[in-house]
Structure 1
Amino acid sequence: MVLRRGRGRRGLFLIVGRVLCAAGGACGYGNLYSVGYGTSSTALSNALFNNGLSCGACFQIVCRLAESKYCYPGGSVVVTATNACPPGSEGGWCDPPKAHFDLSYPAFQRLAQPVGGVIPVRYKRVSCSRNGGIRFTIRGNPYFDLVLVTNVGEFGAVQSLQIKGERTGWTYMRQNWGANWQANVNVQGQALAFKVTLDNGRSLEFYNVAPKNWGFGQTFEADYNF
């Protein structure tokens, strides 16, 4: 589904589209069921995707019943941004500077009858409700660390990530793509800590996330979340 915005956050329209859960997507989450996002997910147009810095953000979308006979009474859904709706797709609705959402089919069905095709909606950023701690998947090699951050609570979208080994100081990581962050630092054989900053400016440090014998390709869950 695609949400098309007119003027302001009330001028939105949604059209039925594809299921997004099987593909890795532009955020790099891989299988959305395995990372916990499932079908409560959406792709964002370029205007909202923010070069991947909106990955993990949560939005509440409400169907405007007074303006469409296809809306369900009280139709509302909270979804996580997990993908991009690229320019040139969906009939141009995802082209800059338009703001659109491409929802999973199950998410659309919670808002309106799918035969409606296009429906008016409202949306807003909301806090993400997550089970368990924030998760870090470590890939790369001894001199190139690539870390995927998932299951982020509160505002959900990571704006800055730092990594620290028990024998090293904090090192800023650079966004590689989507929710993947990179650093050229050798932290093998060290217990790892991470410092995460969200797009609302709040930061938390997560210590002893990975033990000394961590390996590339493994995912580690912190003891707490935002």
Structure 2
Amino acid sequence: MGFAAKSYCSLLCMSVLLTTICYSQDGYVSSRATYYGSPDCLGTPSGACGYGEFGRRVNDANVAGVSRLYRNGSGCGACYQVRCKIPKLCCDDGVKVVATDYGEGDKTDFILSTRAYARLAVPNAALELFSYGVVDIEYQRIPCQYPGYNLKVKVHENSKFSVYLAVVVLYQAGIYDITAVDVWQADCQQWRCMRRAFGTVWDLSDPPSGPLTFRAQVSGSGGTKWVQMTNVVPSEWKAGVVYDTAIQLS
């Protein structure tokens, strides 16, 4: 029994080592993916990230719910290249997806929109791929790209003017996680920390008056930095409105 346990441990260590070597060579991670049904093949407006309609249509509706990659909401907005691994059925490039929701499947990291799942297949093979339900995949994180779009701040629909403010940051390009959001309190000359309410929704009670300046802490492979968005939300802001920051991450 002791010898068997030692042999098993050795094999396990070798397996982990080989997996690490494979990962370091091509940057892809092995996993599984499935899809969720949608009558219009788009994403869902009620996703856990809080994106609303943006989460349905961003990236031509090639979006996904993620499980462990969700990371308590900081994984929202991340982009991934996903490709399945069935010979002669899966295309070489796969599909680029944006994480807009949280979801768990049968040992899956991704639950793809119907449109994204179909794009995993070679031409005219999508229906056959759907019949599998769950497929082996490999994925890697890639920079998000939104040509023609600046970083935007949306005032969440649950906000109530002058007493409660919640915001969502949209179109975050590059490979960054938003890990904190502050708002400037001009009368006190200090930054006020906003709370991560859920997903990528940040909120606070009794928000400052006047035009609102925010800063977002973003974390990536190059380290952590603050991005300031000056006077981006007007003093008479309205719930549900999206405001342009005139800046962009890269």
Describe the SS at the equivalent of 2:182: strand
Describe the SS at the equivalent of 2:80: strand
Describe the SS at the equivalent of 1:159: strand
2:143 equivalent to 1:127: yes
Give the C-alpha shift of residue 203 in structure 1.
Answer: 2.2
Q: Structure 1-normalised TM-score?
A: 0.80
RMSD between superposed Cα atoms in Å:
2.5
Alpha-carbon distance in 2 for matches of 1:78, 1:111: 10
Q: Contact conserved, 1:35 with 1:151, CA < 8 A, in 2?
A: no
2:204 equivalent to 1:183: yes
2:102 equivalent to 1:93: no
Would the alpha carbon gap of residues 13 and 186 (structure 1) be closer, same or farther in structure 2, given more than 3 Å must change? closer
State the 4+ residue runs in structure 1 displaced beyond 4 angstroms.
Answer: none
Would the alpha carbon gap of residues 108 and 35 (structure 1) be closer, same or farther in structure 2, given more than 3 Å must change? closer
Write the letter of the residue equivalent to 1:221.
D
Would the alpha carbon gap of residues 93 and 81 (structure 1) be closer, same or farther in structure 2, given more than 3 Å must change? same
Would the alpha carbon gap of residues 194 and 80 (structure 1) be closer, same or farther in structure 2, given more than 3 Å must change? same
5+ residue gaps, structure 1, are: 1-6, 95-99
Question: Aligned residue for 2:64?
Answer: 42
Structure with a larger share of its residues in strand: 1
Alpha-carbon distance in 1 for matches of 2:84, 2:144: 20
2:225 equivalent to 1:202: yes
Write the letter of the residue equivalent to 1:31.
E
Determine which structure has greater relative contact order: mean sequence separation of CA pairs < 8 Å that are 6+ residues apart, divided by chain length: 1
2:174 equivalent to 1:160: no
Count, aligned residues: 207
2:120 equivalent to 1:102: no
Question: Aligned residue for 1:111?
Answer: 120
Alpha-carbon distance in 1 for matches of 2:36, 2:107: 12
Question: Aligned residue for 1:29?
Answer: 51
Question: Aligned residue for 2:78?
Answer: 57
Would the alpha carbon gap of residues 84 and 194 (structure 1) be closer, same or farther in structure 2, given more than 3 Å must change? same
Write the letter of the residue equivalent to 1:220.
Y
Would the alpha carbon gap of residues 29 and 183 (structure 1) be closer, same or farther in structure 2, given more than 3 Å must change? same
Alpha-carbon distance in 2 for matches of 1:108, 1:76: 9
Would the alpha carbon gap of residues 35 and 166 (structure 1) be closer, same or farther in structure 2, given more than 3 Å must change? farther
Alpha-carbon distance in 1 for matches of 2:34, 2:235: 49
Give the C-alpha shift of residue 26 in structure 1.
Answer: 0.5
Structure with a larger share of its residues in helix: 2
Write the letter of the residue equivalent to 1:21.
G
Alpha-carbon distance in 2 for matches of 1:76, 1:137: 31
Question: Aligned residue for 2:32?
Answer: 13
5+ residue gaps, structure 2, are: 1-18
Describe the SS at the equivalent of 2:179: strand
Write the letter of the residue equivalent to 1:43.
G
Give the C-alpha shift of residue 211 in structure 1.
Answer: 2.3
Write the letter of the residue equivalent to 1:177.
F
Alpha-carbon distance in 2 for matches of 1:164, 1:16: 41
Write the letter of the residue equivalent to 2:117.
F
Would the alpha carbon gap of residues 29 and 16 (structure 1) be closer, same or farther in structure 2, given more than 3 Å must change? closer
Give the C-alpha shift of residue 170 in structure 1.
Answer: 1.3
Alpha-carbon distance in 2 for matches of 1:154, 1:35: 19
Question: Aligned residue for 1:171?
Answer: 192
Describe the SS at the equivalent of 2:37: coil
